[in-house]
Chains A and B, each alone.
Chain A
Amino acid sequence: MVDAKGNKDERDQGTKTQDGSHETQAELVKSDAVELEIVEVREGAFGIHGTGDTSGFGGLTRPVMMPGASQRPYGGWYDEVADQLATITELDEAIEKVVVDRGEITFFIRRHKLLETVTHLRNDPVLRFEFCSSVSGVHFPHETGRELHVAYHLLSMTHNRRIRLEVVAPDDDPHIPSVVSIYPTADWQERETWDMFGIIFDGHPALARILMPDDWPGHPQRKDYPLGGIPVEYKGGTIAPPDQRRSYS
């Protein structure tokens, strides 16, 4: 097992992977954080930790990489949307990076520019993303300084296109501007994201919990929040609760 310091060193080196596929991308793309695609470090194999592993696989350490930033041309209408966003002069600061993966385009937007960006995305006739399908959060506790992600799935019914916006915030400053003034449908969805992740949407008209009780402590979808559960006995055997069963690393 690699200790906590060893983990950190691995992440600081940033771009080392087993197959080397991501090694070159960090140099090519200007981004706020070079190691940002690494969301976790995976150790060992077969879910074995500590003693009991005689295979040697327990010593494996592999960073978990999310797809890295893409290079132009993105292909198809992706470039048209990216160009139009780039021509809006106040927005040249807004886009941190663009990821095209599995036929979907993701714009990473800096949070202080989010409101301006979605305003243009909705109003600009070339962009015209008039429909906000979904707002949700993802928690990456290993991405230091960028732990909380919010994904907005926008739909342009006019052009029949979908894009994803991703906005990040650190755990110790979980503030992201609310888009309710642009997309009223985000009202409940931002409340749910607050409820589940503790992300505070500044400017939301009534950011109250929605699914959990009003006085609930904690935010259940965060990775540091346990699933809970009790062991179940069956015919003399005891089955551990789901979050304590073997997980395959």
Chain B
Amino acid sequence: MTETVSDPYASTTDSAEGPVFTVTGQDWDTIDASAVEGDHLVINMGPQHPSTHGVLRLILEIDGETVRDARAGVGYLHTGIEKNMEYRTWTQGVTFCTRMDYVAPFSNEAAYVMAVEKLLGIEAPEKAQVMRVLLLELNRVSSHLVALATGGMEIGALTVMTCGFRDRELILDLFEMITGLRMNHAFIRPGGVAQDMPAGGIEKLRSTVRLLKKRLPEYAALCNANPIFKGRLKGVGHLDLSGCLALGLTGPILRATGYDWDLRKKQPYWGYETYDFDVVTRDEPDAYGRFRVRLDEMWESLKIVEQATERLAAMEGQPVMVADKKIAWPSQLSVGSDGQGNSAEHIKHIMGESMEALIHHFKIVTEGFRVPAGQAYASVEAPRGEIGCHVVSDGGTRPYRAHFRDPSFVNLQGTSVMSEGGMLSDVIVAIASIDPVMGGVDR
């Protein structure tokens, strides 16, 4: 252990806890560990490891193949979204928070917008609420597909991965059609949504749902009774109800313990109480149970999507933004010969017809609206559990403070208790069953 190599990334050094080796893969034979006593090792997994869902670092204390101690290190993707939101208008805040949990962007927007609307004391028009529900549920399906896909990939089931991303693409196409973007939509805004349904949207929704219903059974056929799949997932990452409540875990992890806690049913918002769907539970609090809960939840979400589609079909021409001109975004977007921009009628109105309309447009776009002083907490059932948003207003045009309770962040605290005492390979399965998205964890 006296060797001194100048390369800081591939050297052997001594520390207070013992010698430190750096291995980067397929180079174990270059390590002379003969002087180390016992099999006790502390290894760093990540932050750039393909199996840890992005930049998650795991510090594992292992004894042979058995994990004695597991700690998660986070923060590698911290971008200061909450701080940035304090320097933008209330409407621009949506653009920031949608980038947190980038696999479920609509849930981020929904929690924030719900809190802001609570502070304003306004309610979005019915059609906007239906569109929000539609997008949230489509997003739940696409998010669960990613969970299945990455979870499958990590245990070597590459077919699940290719199928998952193939079907997610269908939903991203729908998002692109409705919001203009595949991710980071900033579509749900205080007071409603940014745009009305596009022409032909209803038909596209119907045909995609039909296709998804044809394809979803493939996952069940491939995995549910697959002995290898069950062998890797069953009994792994066990966490019972009391453990979930103590550590704050929600979403499919909580419902896999048999408790039917779902904010869509328990504290319904935006008309969820009027949709016909069931809360999926399962009495298998392990990775397999969580997989099955996610699988079944996609069917329930499709049920809601179908109902929302039919409602939208009957709501053509209804407003998607509150009538209050002091809050509503003044213009609608349209695609012209020179690209996307404000609609031609709106430009004509503010540039040629009404000075006051121009001033109003300028004021609301640059200055924004004021929100009465106070604070509010709103929570939404995101695909990963409860996403909460605590916003504080000082009566100004910007959030004084916005804090997000991200389900990935809280759920990841279950890592230690799910992995300790198990095999090293099961750590991957346990974390895949938590399904953390590091953009949401680190914000």
Contact = CB atoms under 8 A, between A and B. Distances in A.
B377 A130 contact: no
B152 to A, nearest CB: 28
Contacts of A31: none
B210 interface: no
Contacts of B87: 227, 242-243, 245, 247
Interface stretch (B27-35, B187-195, B339-347, B388-396): B388-396
B396 A248 contact: yes
Interface string B259-274: 0010000110000000
A12 interface: no
A183 B413 contact: no
B161 to A, nearest CB: 29
A98 to B, nearest CB: 14
B82 interface: yes
A212 B75 contact: yes
From DSSP, what is the main secondary structure of chain B's interface residues?
Answer: mixed
Interface in A80-136: 101-104, 106, 130-134, 136
B213 interface: no
Interface of A: 39-40, 42, 64-67, 101-104, 106, 130-134, 136-139, 151, 153, 157, 160, 162, 164, 183-185, 187-189, 192, 209-213, 220-221, 227, 242-243, 245, 247-249
Given A102-B374, A242-B87, A160 B410 contact: no
A44 to B, nearest CB: 13
Interface residues of B, number: 47
Q: Which 4 A-B pairs have the closest CB atoms?
A: A185-B248, A134-B405, A136-B403, A211-B75
B80 A220 contact: yes
B119 interface: yes
B397 A248 contact: yes
A204 B409 CA distance: 18
Nearest to B92: A242
B392 A138 contact: yes
Contact of B78 (A212, A243, A249): A212
B74 A211 contact: yes
Given A133-B388, A185-B248, A102 B373 contact: no
B386 A185 contact: no
Given A211-B74, A211-B75, A136 B390 contact: yes
Nearest to A66: B373
27 contacts: A64-B373, A64-B395, A64-B396, A101-B375, A102-B118, A102-B121, A104-B377, A134-B377, A134-B390, A138-B375, A151-B375, A151-B377, A153-B388, A157-B266, A162-B377, A185-B246, A188-B409, A189-B405, A210-B74, A211-B74, A211-B443, A212-B75, A213-B75, A221-B83, A243-B87, A245-B87, A248-B368
A17 B403 CA distance: 28
Given A102-B374, A104-B377, A210-B75, A189 B82 contact: no
Nearest to B395: A64
Given A136-B390, A212-B75, A227-B84, A101 B405 contact: no
A245 B379 CA distance: 32
Contacts, number: 125
Contacts of A162: 377, 379
B390 A104 contact: no
A206 to B, nearest CB: 10
Contacts of B409: 188-189, 192
Interface string B347-377: 0000000000000000000011000011111
Q: Which of B119, B403, B413 has the most CB of A within 10 A?
A: B403
B127 interface: no
A151 B401 CA distance: 12
B420 to A, nearest CB: 15
Contact of A151 (B75, B390, B396, B442): B390
Given A65-B373, A138-B375, A151-B375, 20 more contacts: A64-B373, A64-B395, A103-B118, A130-B245, A131-B245, A132-B248, A139-B401, A151-B403, A157-B266, A183-B246, A184-B413, A185-B248, A211-B74, A211-B443, A212-B78, A220-B83, A221-B82, A227-B84, A227-B86, A248-B396
Nearest to A182: B246
Contacts of B261: 157
B374 A101 contact: yes
A134 B119 contact: no
Contacts of A220: 80, 83
Interface string B61-93: 000000000000011001010111011100000
B400 interface: yes
Contacts of A136: 390, 403, 405
Contacts of B118: 102-104
B245 to A, nearest CB: 6
Nearest to A186: B248
B413 A185 contact: yes
Given A136-B390, A210-B74, A211-B442, A102 B376 contact: yes
A212 B75 CA distance: 6
A130 B261 CA distance: 13
Given A134-B390, A138-B392, A153 B80 contact: no
B226 to A, nearest CB: 34
